[in-house]
Amino acid sequence: MVEPSGVYWGYYAAAAGKGRQTAKAELEKLDLTTMSTRDAVKEAARIIYLAHEDNKDKEFELEITWISKEETNGLHKFVPKDLLEEAIKYAEEEGDDDGSSDSSSDEEMDD
């Protein structure tokens, strides 16, 4: 994380702004030390979608950038379009799974 003064700290993950508590809670569940960079992008998308649920009536466009020794040779770049689309699909599916599992368990209880 970089402050305007140029002071910086290194983190495996950080959350700031609206929805940061939800994001922090989800980030703490992940083992980012063993996760691949590509899997981390998918999890980041999932967490952003989850944190945005409080503002469902507001549309948003997800853009993700990354810095990786393996993927970008240490350069700051946008995530490739195919990976971004895959991450968005993953985030939407995970969001749908969370909602559908609650309703199906309610139906099972009624039987």
Domain ranges of the chain: 20-97
Q: According to the model, what pLDDT value does residue 98 have?
A: 59
Q: Are 76 and 67 in contact (CB under 8 A)?
A: yes
* pLDDT tens across the length of the chain (111 residues): 778 888 887 888 888 888 889 999 999 999 999 999 999 999 999 999 999 877 676 888 999 999 999 999 999 999 999 999 999 999 999 877 755 444 444 444 444
Q: According to the model, what pLDDT value does residue 102 have?
A: 44
Q: According to the model, what pLDDT value does residue 58 have?
A: 80
Instruction: Report the C-alpha gap between 85 and 78 in whole angstroms.
Output: 12
Q: According to the model, what pLDDT value does residue 101 have?
A: 43
Q: According to the model, what pLDDT value does residue 1 have?
A: 72
Q: According to the model, what pLDDT value does residue 35 have?
A: 94
Cα dihedral angle (16, 20, 66, 57), rounded to 10 degrees?
A: -110
The pTM of the full predicted model, rounded to 2 decimals, is: 0.74
Name 67's bridge partners: 76
